[in-house]
Structure 1
Amino acid sequence: MDISIRQEKEADYQAVEEVIKRAFTDVEISDKTEHQLVKRLRGSKAFIPELSLVAVDEATGKTVGHILFTKAKVGDAETLALAPVSVLPEFQNLGIGRLLVNKGLKTAKELGYESAIVLGHPNYYPKFCFKKASQWGIKAPWNVPDEVFMALELRGKAFDGVSGTVQYADAFHQ
């Protein structure tokens, strides 16, 4: 299978919405509104077009995955919020999520971003060097288990002197 990762285009929006809906259909902790969150984030100041990426099956041209990073803050420091990562159920466990996360983190670093945070599976994101955010004194704005709220320094000691509760884009709270 040949999968390419590229920046999302406006023409992809409908296919991406379908990918997100299907990806979260059977996820127990999902409220099934992740596609609406992405739509709100695209219209927000936190949106970074270069960090909204799609995975495309080159053989069919079908969009099979999506990832989004948006601007967030910890105190006065800017960070990125990784949310959500979506892959069509029939394409899951084939490494597409890994491709999306790796490309997103690489692009974020190239764009000059220094860190990222994620609320996600504690066995998945450490594969990308995410660690418990609490080790830097960084907290989620929601009551979540410590092991599912993680952070990653993309450059040096990006979190030195940074602590507090993450301020996500308003779109996350609507």
Structure 2
Amino acid sequence: MQSANIQIRDESSTDSSAISELTIAAFETMEMSNHTEQFIIDTLRAANALTLSLVAEIDGKIIGHIAFSPVTISDGTTGWYGLGPVSVHPDFQRQGVGKALIKKGLSRLKELNAKGCCLVGHPEYYPQFGFKNAPELSLEGVPKEVFFTLAFNEKIPKGNVLFHNAFTAEY
């Protein structure tokens, strides 16, 4: 597959079930997952907290999805977002779909005048996009080595980050 065949667009009102099915499939074999990612996306959508929800398509079939939602920072800084979940169908993983979604999503966040983005993710994957471990910010209960930040203006806030409660709800 070539990434040139991938079309990335905003989620439409008819995409929710396809996104849910894709997310279940993407996380099915991941040991670190508690398999609630599809519920997180549904809850963010229902709370109108999906700032960006992008899908990747090939030939009209949704093969990837990425969500961005606002985060709260204890020092009062605004304009920061959380990345996640990001899902790629198992048949298309390791082929550039996730990278394309992340790059497009970060570009779109910048267009919205976001100040930065943070996430919990794999330490060997996210630095390629400019994400770094920042001692100034923390996420309760998450080891520093898997919590990443990317400041769009080089200014990293200081404090604790709180993702939308959809990430901690019991499903």
TM-score interval for Structure 1 and Structure 2 normalised by the shorter chain: over 0.9
Give 1:145's match in structure 2, choosing from 133, 136, 143. 143
Offset from partner CA, 1:124-163 (integer Å, 9 cap, x none): 10010000032xx10012x222111000012x2332xx21
Q: Which residue of 2 aligns with 1:77?
A: 77
CA distance 1:11–1:45, change in 2 (3 Å) = closer
Offset from partner CA, 1:43-77 (integer Å, 9 cap, x none): 225321xx10000003xx11000000000021211
What is the SS of the residue equivalent to 2:124? coil
State TM-score, norm by structure 1. 0.91
What is the SS of the residue equivalent to 1:10? coil
Q: How many angstroms apart in 2 are the aligned matches of 1:113 and 1:44? A: 20
What is the SS of the residue equivalent to 2:71? strand
Superposed structure 1 runs of 4+ greater than 3 Å apart: none
Q: How does 1:15-164 map to 2 (within 5 A)?
A: 15-48=18-51, 51-58=52-59, 61-75=60-74, 76-78=76-78, 79-134=80-135, 137-141=136-140, 143-154=141-152, 156-159=153-156, 162-164=157-159
Q: How many angstroms apart in 2 are the aligned matches of 1:165 and 1:138? A: 6
Offset from partner CA, 1:58-104 (integer Å, 9 cap, x none): 3xx11000000000021211210001010000100000000000000
What is the count of residue pairs matched by the alignment? Answer: 164
> How far does residue 114 in structure 1 lie from its aligned partner after superposition?
1.0
Unaligned 5+ runs, structure 2 = none
Q: How does 1:1-12 map to 2 (within 5 A)?
A: 1=1, 2-12=5-15
Q: How many angstroms apart in 1 are the aligned matches of 2:111 and 2:46? A: 23
Unaligned 5+ runs, structure 1 = none
> How far does residue 105 in structure 1 lie from its aligned partner after superposition?
0.1
Percent of aligned positions that are identical: 40
What is the SS of the residue equivalent to 2:17? helix
